[in-house]
Amino acid sequence: MTSSEAAPSGRDIDFAAEATAAADVLDALHLRFTLSSNDWGARSSDAWLYGIVAGWDLKPDDDPEFDSPAMPHLAAQHGWNDEQVARIRQLHDRFQRIVPALQAAANQQQELERLRAAHAATTPGGTT
């Protein structure tokens, strides 16, 4: 958007499409982190980002007999205190909830638009 263009008003935004696009961006980011061969734990800044996007703790499908959470090791390696570890975990939990929330919002917006169109079709004059 150039400086001469006006920002879109709320009515000009396709919220379902924007929510779907945002979910796609975040999903791609997650895939980039989790499928990459990079050593995300080597540098503190990379480990912080990976911790938010992918997480360093065990996942539900991990086997605790063979897998161990990496967070304690990385916290010691990078000098993260308990508050920093808690913050990474909090942000990771939020990140995990964003994509499903955006997808649900997009679905709700699409359903609202469908209902509006159905209502307009049954209203005399075709308006709401």
Residue 110 in any domain: the answer is yes
Residue 68 in any domain: the answer is yes
Contact 23, 99 (CB under 8 A): yes
Residue 16 in any domain: the answer is no
Count of domains forming the chain: 1
Mean pLDDT for the chain overall: 85
Residue 21 in any domain: the answer is no
47-79: pLDDT as tens digits: 999 999 999 987 777 777 777 789 999 999 999
* Euclidean distance between CA atoms 104 and 16, whole angstroms: 9
pTM over 0.75: no
**Rounded to whole angstroms, what are the CA distances from 11 to 23, 73, 110?**
21, 49, 14
Residue 85 in any domain: the answer is yes
Look at residue 88 in the predicted model and tell me its pLDDT.
95
Residue 81 in any domain: the answer is yes
Residue 89 in any domain: the answer is yes
Which residue range is the domain that position 81 belongs to? 28-115
